[in-house]
């Protein structure tokens, strides 16, 4: 500390410190102005360095490279934590080389952002065997179904088109758990325990053909809403509950309730009726022949009465009719 009346040069230590600080300040100013790193292309920049036209910005968290500007490539480049280039702004080098825009690295391939209609040849990382105009997929490649597949109602193709060929089958749906489509077969190759079956003609004669109207049905539209559809009018057929009373084997069931009729088997049931009628006609013909022979021998105008012998059934009746009252009333034909 300088004492009153004492020359400044007499306090050598403090004066020396002041001069040292002033010298350091001057050297710092000169160093900043001269930049001895300039010959190496290094220039200070807040948060990074400008190196020969490249600006590198480092992450504050770990010091890794996050952004660079390459003046020679006319592009800003962003990097992920692993140092991989993930986006470029400026002159593109991958998605559309030489064109200015934005490109991003997605799943190992570069894509142009906002490129509009991109030419197929400029899309990177596309499957080599895939063509957008025409391609097929094997059924084994379909591993799941859409939510509406369980409600599929079929195709209009079968309704609007005829078929060609030499063999035709009606389409059947089985209740085997998968509700698979298939053909109805009748070869002995698919059968066992085959037994003769007799149909009582009286049962067939008890069925009443009717004309009826279908009830309206609720259908689900494509937008998820529902609508009532008018049922078909003036259909011709039989009532399954009545058929069950006489031919239970011709009735189909759904969820424990009588549901439909195997109309295709009615023709099989008719065979027994036709065979029975054939036996009766043969018996009547024999009776007529006997009467004619007696008349010829006696010369009588009238033949003696011939006792009618019932035609025995060759096979016993297999189905006993169920005579429960029907849950409906059939109106007489007007």
Average pLDDT over residues 53-62: 72
- The radius of gyration of the chain from alpha carbons, rounded to an integer in Å, stands at 50
Portion of the chain with pLDDT greater than 90, in percent: 14
Q: Are 89 and 73 in contact (CB under 8 A)?
A: no
Q: How confident is the model at residue 211 (pLDDT cuts 50, 70, 90)?
A: very high
Question: Is the model's pLDDT at 105 over the cut of 80?
Answer: yes
Which is higher by pLDDT, 92 or 224? 92
User: Domain limits of the chain?
Assistant: 39-122, 197-334
Grouping H, G, I as helix, E, B as strand and the rest as coil, residue 18 is helix
- Output the CA–CA distances (angstroms, integers) from residue 99 to 55, 70, 79, in the order listed: 22, 16, 21
Question: What is the rounded average pLDDT for all residues in the chain?
Answer: 76
Question: Is the model's pLDDT at 315 over the cut of 50?
Answer: no
Token couple for 33 = 């102005």
Of the candidate ranges 75-89, 126-140, 151-165, the one whose mean pLDDT is the lowest: 126-140
What long-range pairs does 71-79 form, CB within 8 A, spacing at least 24?
A: 74/100
Enter the DSSP assignment of 178: S
Q: Are 306 and 287 in contact (CB under 8 A)?
A: yes
Average pLDDT over residues 265-282: 90
Give the span between the Cα atoms of 334 and 331, in whole angstroms: 9
Average pLDDT over residues 30-50: 63
């Amino acid at each position: 500390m300088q004492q009153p009346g004492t020359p400044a040069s007499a306090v050598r230590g403090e004066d020396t410190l002041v001069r040292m600080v002033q010298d350091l300040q001057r050297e710092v100013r000169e160093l900043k102005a001269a930049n001895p790193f300039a010959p190496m292309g290094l220039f200070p920049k807040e948060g990074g360095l400008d190196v020969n036209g490249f600006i590198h910005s480092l992450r504050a968290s770990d010091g890794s490279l996050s952004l660079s500007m390459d003046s020679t490539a006319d592009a800003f480049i962003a990097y992920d934590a692993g140092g991989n280039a993930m986006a470029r702004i400026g002159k593109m080098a991958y998605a559309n080389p030489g064109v200015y825009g934005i490109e991003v690295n997605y799943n190992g391939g570069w894509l142009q952002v906002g490129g509009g209609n991109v030419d197929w040849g400029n899309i990177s990382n596309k499957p080599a065997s895939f063509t957008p105009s025409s391609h097929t997929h094997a059924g084994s490649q379909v591993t799941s179904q859409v939510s509406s597949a369980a409600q599929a109602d079929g195709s209009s193709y079968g309704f609007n088109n005829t078929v060609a060929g030499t063999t035709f089958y009606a389409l059947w749906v089985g209740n085997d758990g998968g509700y698979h489509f298939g053909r109805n077969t009748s070869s002995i190759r698919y059968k066992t325990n085959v037994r003769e079956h007799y149909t009582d003609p009286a049962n067939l004669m008890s069925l009443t053909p009717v004309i009826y109207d279908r009830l309206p049905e609720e259908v689900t539209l494509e937008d998820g809403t529902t609508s009532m559809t008018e049922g078909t009018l003036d259909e011709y057929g039989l009532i399954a509950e009545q058929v069950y009373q006489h031919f239970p084997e011709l009735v189909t069931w759904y969820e424990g309730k009588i549901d439909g009729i195997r109309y295709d088997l009615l023709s099989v049931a008719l065979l027994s009726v036709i065979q029975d009628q054939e036996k009766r006609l043969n018996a009547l013909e024999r009776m007529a022949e006997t009467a004619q022979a007696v008349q010829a021998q006696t010369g009588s105008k009238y033949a003696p009465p011939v006792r009618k012998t019932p035609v025995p059934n060759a096979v016993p009746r297999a189905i006993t009719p169920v005579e429960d009252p029907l849950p409906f009333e059939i109106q007489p034909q007007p």
